[in-house]
Structure 1
Amino acid sequence: MLAWGKRVSPEFRAKVVDICASLGADPNHLMACMAFESAETFDPSVRSGAGSGAVGLIQFMPSTAQALGTSTEDLAAMTAVGQLDFVKKYFISKAGKLMSLEDLYMAILWPAACGKPSDYVLFDRDDHLHPKRYVQNAGLDFNRDGIITKAEAAAKVQKKLEKGLLPEFVWVSA
């Protein structure tokens, strides 16, 4: 069984399972994160709506792409299966630390929050040193208190996991 598995190719499904086996992560969690980050398209060229310059299955930032030895332009031109190589390369240093959906998503959104408690504050509207951080992620502030916690940020990804496990999206092997 794989969340969102009906939306991707057999090659994509197999590669996600292999990647997660090497990371010690749940493939359903990675699929939910990619569904969230790609607006359920699993399109390697999908661009961030927040104006960050991020692209792809896990919304690689330009600086992240460069650190991985590529560019957002090159990532956007790849096939979804091909871009999974960079997804793995991105996560490999976090292997063994991606035990929950929250931590897998934090590895994408805010790596410093991996392993932190659910009430850990990621973004604060009153952070005058980094005001764009809250603004770019304001949609994650469910209670509109000006603070985005790890739990709040992961809640939308949890909803993607739940949706991805519905019969019309989940892939079940024969």
Structure 2
Amino acid sequence: MTRPSLLSMLFSTLFAWRPGRSAPSVPAPGPAPGPAPGQKPPAADFVGHPAGARTMIAWGARVPDGFKRKVIEIAERLGMEPDHLMAIMAFETGRSFDPSIVNRAGSGATGLIQFMPATALDLGTTTAALARMSAIDQLDYVETYLAPYRGRIGDIQSAYMAVLYPRAIGKPSGHVLFRKGSRAYKLNRGLDRNGDGRITKQEAAARVVALLEEGMRPGNIG
């Protein structure tokens, strides 16, 4: 008679079972370790991750690490996506993120989100002073400007409306911002994508959306 091999005996011992007999139970994993005594759990950021967990953002590879980290922190405090804020600044600065860049249409707008002269004064500064700041320092004024819209700029259209035309926050995409014949239309006529003499909210945000997509590509995201 052929004797069973040692391997087959071991295998049958480990896996044999009889009806009415349950298989050996596997201990369920215990709960994840909590914070150490006296230590608060990390706060959740705008997408539900632990604060500071976000490291890759649109256009992040094109700016210094300190600038990127500050954008993430600002976006968290404002309840908006850092990708959206980066796309807006990429659009307003022609992808340069230059704090001294000036609007070519002659409005006098300057900097990362193209602060108008009157807006700069409302913030306690001037466009000339803003232009002398580093990009990281100017981000403080970006946050101060956007702070009144906290909690209302979670989508990219609303985020951009806060910069371009705050009265359109919460309006439908087809809402008309500017009409031909107005100074505002003249300064922004490049946004009239179909050339019908009207600039809608969707049209105005379209280029920012395109720069968001561009910013997420390899070589730009980081």
TM-score band, normalised by the shorter chain?
A: over 0.9
Specify the alignment match of 1:51 in structure 2.
Answer: 106
Determine the C-alpha separation between the residues in 2 that align with 1:133 and 1:4: 29
User: TM-score, length-normalised on structure 1?
Assistant: 0.95
What stretches of structure 1 of length at least 5 have no aligned partner?
none
Determine the C-alpha separation between the residues in 2 that align with 1:50 and 1:166: 30
Q: CA RMSD in A?
A: 0.6
Determine the C-alpha separation between the residues in 1 that align with 2:175 and 2:209: 17
The one of 52, 64, 82 aligned to 1:9 = 64
Identity of aligned residues (%): 51
What stretches of structure 2 of length at least 5 have no aligned partner?
1-55
Specify the alignment match of 2:188 in structure 1.
Answer: 137
Greater helix fraction, Structure 1 or Structure 2: 1
Equivalent residue letter for 2:114: Q
Determine the C-alpha separation between the residues in 1 that align with 2:113 and 2:184: 18
Of structures 1 and 2, the one scoring higher in RCO (CA 8 A, sep 6+) is 1
Deviations 1:34-63 (A, max 9, x none): 000000000000000111000000000000
The one of 69, 72, 93 aligned to 2:127 = 72
Specify the alignment match of 1:37 in structure 2.
Answer: 92
Determine the C-alpha separation between the residues in 1 that align with 2:192 and 2:127: 28
- Corresponding pairs, count: 167
Specify the alignment match of 2:38 in structure 1.
Answer: none
The one of 52, 64, 78 aligned to 1:23 = 78
Equivalent residue letter for 1:102: Q
The one of 122, 132, 138 aligned to 2:177 = 122
Equivalent residue letter for 2:179: D
Q: Which has the larger radius of gyration?
A: 2
SS at match of 1:122: strand
Specify the alignment match of 2:155 in structure 1.
Answer: 100
